[in-house]
Every structure is written in structure tokens, then in C-alpha cells.
Chain A
């Protein structure tokens, strides 16, 4: 099953709707609750990152019997120093993002912790691509 979502930067009202739909799809497919939680926590953090930092983005979710593959591609300022961005507690988030309960520098570490395979590639001034794989079995 393939799902695709367009994400608008700054749209905090809709942030989480893509993750919610992926969660629903996984539940309908009868995937283990622990796996669903890992997928949606990683995806939700990544979705919030697009809303918080990028101008716009696209999420695709491929659900196979063995694994879930998530790809998030955004157009935005990109990340100059990925190693620094992965450090728990490091954040460049705005006050508006912090008021939403995010932006404390836990997003990327949270994604990494829940993923079986995590890849991030960024071009400063262009955007960021995040790939997350989580095994179902």
C-alpha cells in the first residue's frame, strides 16, 4: 500500500494528519500495536519538522507485509550541520514551534530511536530528505 501527503510549512492546525492517516491504515491492516507506535511517533516528529522548518514537503509511506518505508522530502532552508541537529537538546525552532510543544531538540533523536534504518540528507538552501524504515516482522 502506498500513501502520499502534501505538507504545508507553518500549518500547525493540520500537523499530524498524515501521521494519523498512516496510523489508521496500519491499524486496519492489523499491524502490531508496538510497531504502529514506533512508525507514527517517528513519522509525527518528522511531519512536525516539515511544518516547523520547511516551506512545503511531501510524505510517502510504503507499507509492505515485512516493513514500513517512509520518505519525507521538503523544500526549505535545509540543515547545515546534521551531526549538530542530531544532538539531543539542540534546536533552531521558533517561539511559535515551542508554543506547540515541540522545538526542544528531541525530534531527530526520537525519529532515530524508533527507526530500524534512518537516513537524512540535506542541502542548505534547498531542503532535506529523511528516510525511515521500520520492520513489521
Chain B
């Protein structure tokens, strides 16, 4: 699924990165617990989280992830946006809850990592 389709489905806004049609993601992992994110061996998934602090960006960096979806209408700090930009990540925000955003994306064909 393209990032642009994801953004349209969850009424998202892109705050860092400039994804194109080649930016496609097939898997998602949703968690507010960063240690759980760090247990996932693969790195081809989008992180869905409500954790709006620098550690969510750092965790994505250590996990070698490119796409982060911040849910529950959380507003990231400028520091977060800058770090995501520096790390070459696409940071998206959505007003939807984690459950609703995940449900919409699952229904549209996104898969869980396990």
C-alpha cells in the first residue's frame, strides 16, 4: 500500500519526509511499548504508536524503520520532527485512535508482522 493511500485512509498529515509512489509498505506493528517494537526482527513495517516523544523516533531508527504513524491526535515536538527528518523517516499523524487506525488499515489489506 502506498504511503499516500495510508494517509488518505486515516485522515493523516505528513510531518516529515516526502514520500513518493515508490514508498510502499505491506506490514504494520502497533505498540506504545518501545521494547516490544525492538523485539521485532524484520524492518519492513510501519510503526503505529501513540508515544509522542523522542524515544519513538529513536526506536524506529534502531529498528531501521522508515515509516511512523503517530495516532490519537498526538502533536509531536519540533525536536521529534527534526530527528525524523534527519533520519530520513516519514512521520505521519492521524486523529484516529490506535484501534481505529489499525482496523482501517487492516481492512484495506495491511498485514501484521506476526
Cβ of A102 under 8 Å from chain B? yes
Given contacts A16-B62, A23-B61, contact A102 B54 (CB under 8 A): no
Prevailing SS type, chain A contact patch: helix
A77–B38 Cα gap in the complex (Å)?
A: 26
Q: CB distance B62 to A104 under 8 Å?
A: no
Residues of A contacting B34 in the complex (Cβ-Cβ under 8 angstroms):
100-102
B62 with A40: CB separation less than 8 A? yes
- Contacts known (A101-B32, A101-B56, A102-B35); A20 close to B61, Cβ less than 8 A: yes
Across the interface, do A104 and B53 meet the contact criterion of CB distance under 8 Å? no
Report the bound CA distance from A107 to B62 in whole Å: 14
> Are A19 and B62 in contact, with the CB atoms below 8 A?
yes
Q: Which residues from 1 to 38 on chain A have a C-beta closer than 8 Å to any C-beta of chain B?
A: 12-13, 15-16, 19-20, 23, 33, 36-37
Q: CA of A16 to CA of B57 in the docked complex: distance in angstroms? A: 10
B51 adjacent to A101 (CB under 8 Å): yes
Give the distance to chain B from A59, nearest Cβ to Cβ, in Å: 14
Q: Given A15-B55, A102-B55, A44–B38 Cβ distance below 8 Å?
A: yes
The number of chain A residues touching the other chain, given as a range, is 20 to 34
- Write out, one digit per residue, whether chain B residues 70-84 have a CB within 8 A of any chain A CB (1) or not (0): 000000000100000
How near does chain B come to A4, taking the closest CB pair, in angstroms?
Answer: 19
Shortest distance from the beta carbon of B80 to any chain A beta carbon, whole Å: 11
CA distance A87 to B34 in the complex (A): 18
A-B pairs, top 9 by smallest CB distance, nearest first, are: A16-B58, A106-B35, A101-B34, A40-B62, A44-B62, A101-B51, A100-B55, A41-B38, A101-B55
Give 4 A-B pairs besides A20-B58, A20-B62 with Cβ atoms closer than 8 angstroms: A48-B55, A102-B33, A107-B35, A113-B39
26 contacts between A and B (CB under 8 A): A12-B55, A16-B54, A16-B55, A16-B58, A19-B62, A23-B61, A23-B62, A37-B62, A37-B63, A37-B64, A45-B35, A100-B34, A100-B55, A101-B33, A101-B34, A101-B35, A101-B49, A101-B51, A101-B56, A101-B59, A102-B33, A102-B34, A102-B35, A102-B55, A104-B35, A113-B39
**A residues with CB within 8 A of B:** 12-13, 15-16, 19-20, 23, 33, 36-37, 40-41, 44-45, 48, 99-102, 104, 106-107, 110, 113
